[in-house]
Amino acid sequence: MRNLEPRRARWMKVRLGMLVTGIGVGFLTLAARAHELQIRQAPHLRELAQQQYDREVHQAPRRGTIFDRNHTALAVTVDGASLQANPRALRRHAVDVVALGTRLAGVLALEPRQVVEDMRRDLGFRWIKRNLSPDEASAVRAIMREYTLRADDGLSLVNEPHRWYPNRELAAHVIGAVDIDGHGIEGIEYTLNERLRGSSAQLRGVRDAMGRLVFAEGLTPGEGSAGHDVTLTIDKTIQFIAERELGEMVRASEAVGGSVIVTDPRTGEVLAMASYPTFDPNFVGRSAPEDRRNRAVAERYEPGSTMKIFTIAGALDSNTIQAGQLINTYGGTFTIADRTIHDTHPDNWMTPMQVLARSSNIGAAQVGLALGADGLERVFRRFGFGERTGLPLASEARARFGERRWYEVEVATVAFGQGIGVTTIQLAQALGAVANGGLLLRPLLVSRIHDATGALVEENVPDGGRAVIDPRVARLMGEMLTTVTEEGGTGVSAAINGVRVAGKTGTAQKARRNGRGYDDSRFVSSFIGFAPAQRPEVVVTVVIDEPSGHDHSGGAVAAPVFQRVTEETLRYLGRLRRSGATRASAGDALPPAMRPLVPTPIRRESPVNSLANRGAPVAVPALVGMTARRALVTASALGLQVELRGAGTVVRQEPSATETLLPGQTVTLVLEPGSGAPAIQTSPSVESASGERSP
């Protein structure tokens, strides 16, 4: 600058100073911004980066499988697709959410307005629909291709495990169901939820340039601690038999509902537990709470004459009465205090066996009075009444009694089952003690639990039980109860050709819904029994709630269900010879999707169904327009079997009234509500017990 003019030199210095100053200011600004980003805002920016690239995934484990006693799957976990949306990403990519939402709603059977509203929300995540069917998932993929949408564009299908019940309604009340998030809400799914669902896993990963999630260290989304597998004592085939027969009778008698329990008296294992109405756990949201109630364990009712078994057994065991003793039944009418008791089959004197065979209320009342209030209560408590059985079902009712001392008139009526509440499972447990020689066994429903590796975690074996009556008394009771199903007894409809059957009918009035006393038009009909009487294989308990029609007795309504369930079960177990009248096998009646899963021993034809034994052809009667009960009576009088579909009045029959059939062949009837026939409805549970009227 020495060679420059002084003026120009000064200008150069000024320019150089301005440059240095500018550079310095820029450097200082950059340093300040770097400090702001790297020091002060570092935690926030790190969190944003992790949200964009790092991902912590909550991985739900696979829920354990529920099996029947033969290792047939009753509840499984399968992979399904669910549709999720990122409304912010849809807005960022300028997607027409009105058109897209309308299209999606059409294929997913959703309300278009709701879908569009969900996709417009200022959110980063929103479920559109979970657990899509394969057809729905395919339709959604087609729409995404049409709109050229990728997963990071705001709409994506994700794999999500969900519960599936391959047998639909079969054993629904026992198995239960899960909610949309896979948590148990009914049955075994609820009570063993912690065991079945396993433990969750947290997986970390990063997103690649395409937005796809990449897991490190070899982890995959399927890993985690899987739930335990549960094996039930239920036998799928016996369960199907019980549900089929129960459903047919409830529909035929136009009853409110009913329950059937089949147990093994030697072990206490529950082989079947059926309740009607029923529901499909695959679509639990479509069912009413009444349909999901397990009537076999949740409903308390007055049992009626079935309690005479335990009154007389307890009296014999305590030597209060003798087997050959004559009991005064006062010609069929007996008054105690302000109460008059009647017998349907009156006589002056009866033995204990005749009291059971003719279902004498007065005879049972005399035995109860001989035991006294304390003695009768002790007898019932020994048989397990008044306490829960301990089944792993949250809905089991306690059915308590004895909170106060019974008066004399109450002792008389409680002795024949009026004024005391029980559940179906309590009756099944108590009768098992008579059948097995006097031991009260804890009912078993869950036999084994295995972890995901197959290792045995828990095994429930039959307990030793406790003695409630002497084995000789138990054998004597078995002999006495066979007279109920023989000529002159009230339960002849429960008899099985070639097998001695022990059992007891019950017909109890229900308490009035509004007011004191009992309703003359509402009854609970029941039959409990075991077979073969000399060496029992199964105990079957049948309860039908509020059957309609003139004959609502346990012998007319519940006993036929017992007969068919017991006969088919013994045949399936290989304990029954091929003789006498039989129904079509359970395997032949199964829905097509279930037939391969049914064991084959019951898929045989009885000789009675062969052409040689059927007799002359009969003309099919005109059944259209009849109620289910009248149609059953009309067809049965001609020796024809009846298959009912629906409820109400017969609107169609196959074959028609112009054709002929051989005795033993089946007429299929389609019924619908209307034309004077009421639809089957459920009623609110009646917690107070009802009176008993002898069949």
- 690 in a domain, yes or no? no
Looking at the structure, do residues 531 and 469 belong to the same domain, yes or no? yes
Q: Per-residue confidence at 488, pLDDT binned at 50, 70, 90?
A: confident
Looking at the structure, do residues 266 and 393 belong to the same domain, yes or no? yes
CATH number at residue 292: 3.40.710.10
Q: 424-480: per-residue pLDDT in tens?
A: 999 999 999 999 999 999 999 999 999 988 999 999 999 889 999 999 999 999 999
Which structural domain, as residue segments, surrounds residue 316?
Answer: 236-608
For residue 675, the model assigns a pLDDT of: 37
- 1 in a domain, yes or no? no
Does the pTM exceed 0.75? no
Residue 658 amino acid letter: T
Cβ neighbours of residue 89 closer than 8 Å, sequence gap 6 or more: 124, 152, 153, 154
Q: Per-residue confidence at 47, pLDDT binned at 50, 70, 90?
A: low
Looking at the structure, do residues 336 and 390 belong to the same domain, yes or no? yes
- Residue spans of beta strands (DSSP E) within 464-622: 466-467, 502-511, 518-531, 538-545, 618-619
Mean pLDDT of 632-646: 75
Looking at the structure, do residues 154 and 194 belong to the same domain, yes or no? yes
Looking at the structure, do residues 362 and 446 belong to the same domain, yes or no? yes
Max alpha carbon distance in the chain (Å)? 152
Q: 565-612: per-residue pLDDT in tens?
A: 999 999 999 988 654 443 433 433 333 333 332 222 222 223 223 223
For residue 53, the model assigns a pLDDT of: 53
Looking at the structure, do residues 263 and 389 belong to the same domain, yes or no? yes
The dihedral sign for the CA sequence 435, 469, 367, 407:
negative
Residue 301: which of 29, 526, 49 has the closest Cα? Answer: 526
Looking at the structure, do residues 145 and 40 belong to the same domain, yes or no? no
- 694 in a domain, yes or no? no
Rounded Cα distance between 383 and 376, Å, is 11
Q: Which residue in the block uniquely carries the two structure tokens 């004191």?
A: 516
Q: Please tell me the total count of domains within the chain.
A: 4
Q: Per-residue confidence at 51, pLDDT binned at 50, 70, 90?
A: low
- 27 in a domain, yes or no? yes
- Residue spans of beta strands (DSSP E) within 417-467: 439-440, 446-450, 456-459, 466-467
Rounded Cα distance between 173 and 442, Å, is 20
Q: At what angle do helices 134-146 and 97-108 cross, to 10 degrees?
A: 160
**What does each C-alpha distance from 565 to 240, 271, 562 come to in angstroms?**
10, 12, 5
CATH number at residue 86: 3.90.1310.10
Looking at the structure, do residues 583 and 642 belong to the same domain, yes or no? no
Domain boundary among 207, 232, 257: 232
Domain boundary among 52, 68, 87: 52
Provide the annotated active-site residues. 305
The strand pairing partners of 84, in sequence order, are 127, 156
Looking at the structure, do residues 293 and 377 belong to the same domain, yes or no? yes
Cβ neighbours of residue 476 closer than 8 Å, sequence gap 6 or more: 316, 323
Looking at the structure, do residues 36 and 86 belong to the same domain, yes or no? no
For residue 608, the model assigns a pLDDT of: 27
Strands 666-672 and 641-646: parallel
CATH number at residue 642: 3.30.10.20
For residue 595, the model assigns a pLDDT of: 32
Looking at the structure, do residues 438 and 505 belong to the same domain, yes or no? yes
Q: What share of the chain is helix, strand, coil (3-state, %, to 5)?
A: 35, 25, 40
Residue 381 amino acid letter: R
Strands 466-467 and 456-459: unpaired
The 3-class SS string of 203-245 reads EEEEECCCCCEEECCCCCCCCCECCCEEEECCCHHHHHHHHHH
- Tell me the pLDDT of the chain averaged across its residues: 82
DSSP character string of 627-649: BHHHHHHHHHHTT-EEEEEESSE
The dihedral sign for the CA sequence 185, 269, 262, 686:
negative
Residue 268 has what DSSP assignment? -
CB 161 within 8 A of CB 79: yes
Token pair of 627, please?
């109620």
